[in-house]
Chain A
Amino acid sequence: MSAVAQTESALPMRRRSVTRRKAVDLLIKVLSWIGAWFGIAVMAFIVWEVVVRGAAALNWDFFTKSTPQDFTASAGAGMANAIVGTLVITGFAAAIGIPIGFLAGVYLAEFGRNGRLATSVRMIANVVMGVPSIIVGVFAFAIMVRPVGHYSGIAGAVALAFIMLPVMARTTEDILNLVPNELRESALAMGVPRWKVTLGVICKAARGGLITGATLAIVRVAGETAPLLFTALSSPYWLTGLFGPGGFFGGPTANLTKTIYDFAGSPYPYLQELAWGGALVIIIAVLGMNVLVRLVFQRGKKW
């Protein structure tokens, strides 16, 4: 081995141009700088436009009164019923999707690992994450709306939960995989059963990341419209409770995104104004949750 290395190193070597490499370096730097600022500029433009147009619509009525039943109205209505509806639908979706997704993620990271079942679950989760949300809406329509013969808020929540599920499972898995193996081994070496180690040590060590993951999964679906088109539909009324025609399980449920979709496409300026207001509320909520999560995660890191 040493003989070969010696003959090679004895040959004279031609130097490569430094100028060229420096030029390429600069080019890449400039291109990535442009790319970064382009992204920020688009984002800033959207937020600016929504803030300017939406702020005018936000007033006391907006947060306390329901959407107008008379489309030609020009004042005295709000989006309160849609805001409540979105909160309830998203809440139910989180209550279904997060625990199941979390447990699936725990299975993938701690128990299944590279087993056959875990490998197929992981692959399916990756595929489902890429399924267009309108397809999920149609799926929820088929299992939740067709059989009972009417739209309902819960059907929307199930559709959203279905979108959250793989996101939550994969995030949980990724975060648990970041926990160093030494921690797992040293907790098991104490003679503590696996489930206790997983919940009491591993998940506790990863809890900042898990909370972030769950919140991002909620944020991910909070702004979805397509899955609600065939499920929760929309309604100009307040939720009257859980059951009955006006209830969450019994009939169409008002929600922000579908209402924005309807009002933005309408020819009435007042409705369009309400739609801008709704868009602003969603953007603030989503950005706010993102920021909140980052704060929580920073605090969680200490452990």
Chain B
Amino acid sequence: MVGTKVEEPTQMTSEATVVPPRLEVAEDRRGGDEDFDSLPSQISVRGLDFFYGKEQALFSNDIEIKQNRVTAVIGPSGCGKSTHIRTYNRIFNLYRDQRAKGEIMMDGENILSSQTDLLDLRRRVGMIFQKPSPFPMTVFDNVAYGLRQHYKLSRSELSDRVEHALKRSAIWDEVKNKLSEPGNALSGGQQQRLCIARAIAAEPEVLLMDEPCSAIDPVATAKIEELVLDLKSRYTIVLVTHNMQQAARVSDYTAFFFQGYIVEFGPTTQIFSNPAQKQTEEYITGRFG
């Protein structure tokens, strides 16, 4: 995440001559038309700095993640995209030398405070990782894992919830006869949707997706993108992606990260059709990154 320095984009402008066509942004993206400030924020980040040991990876990041919207996080490798969203559920606390400073407000509390209950925070903020990682247990138990942890449920309630989560993750039909088979007997794309089911089963408010499609095939990717559009009615989604078409297809708002700074943040329609910053334009038109 750190250390990969991208060449200064300013040096590259003179060399690039061919400008590729702009990406199509789907018509129904709401980002462009709605009043950003009047929408409720799920997460408000102010002055977020992040350090790997002594090396600083994020520099005073400010961003508003809007409720029930998909916010895409794009940028070249090593720009801090993953580092940024890994602060929202404080998963970075697993590593001793990683540290975040600043403010991440959620439900009126700064989640970076030492008073934050990490177990409850992670119930509210679910996460999907790059590599599908089913737990070493059955399909059913994978989905029931978080439910059992956070809620007292009767047996029938539990299986109802598991079924519901699998249906919402568009995988029920494929696994309904395999519920007692090991989770990693499924295909890669199915495993990733199983992980989504596992994350949404515990009813989080926010779903962080860290390049969820980078390890799976295009057909499975399409299914997951469809799922993201469907899930946003219920959850706030933050999607890190390397794939700019994906960002254009599914997100309402887009943040462009570069070398630890949020260079530009705005409605996806605007970022992809009329970026305010030169660096953003160069990145989305494929001149670097």
Contacts and interface: CB of A to CB of B under 8 A. Distances in A.
Interface of A: 113-115, 180, 182-193, 196, 201, 204-205, 207, 302-303
Contact of B146 (A115, A183, A190, A207): A190
Interface of B: 89, 91, 94, 96, 118-123, 126-127, 129-131, 133, 135-137, 145-146, 149-150, 182, 184, 195, 198-199, 202
Given A183-B135, A190-B146, A302 B182 contact: yes
Contacts of A187: 135, 145
Contacts of A303: 136, 182, 184
> DSSP class of B's interface residues: helix, strand, loop or mixed?
helix
B129 A186 contact: yes
Contacts of B131: 180, 182
Contacts of B122: 188-191
B133 A180 contact: yes
A188 B149 CA distance: 11
Nearest to B201: A190
B137 A193 contact: no
Nearest to B141: A200
A21 to B, nearest CB: 37
Contacts, number: 71
B136 A201 contact: yes
A201 B150 CA distance: 17
Contacts of B120: 191
A191 B149 contact: yes
Nearest to B124: A191
A208 to B, nearest CB: 10
Interface centre among A190, A201, A207 (most CB of B within 10 A): A190
A49 B182 CA distance: 46
B114 to A, nearest CB: 17
Contacts of B119: 191-193
B198 A190 contact: yes
A114 B120 CA distance: 28
B117 to A, nearest CB: 9
A183 B182 contact: no
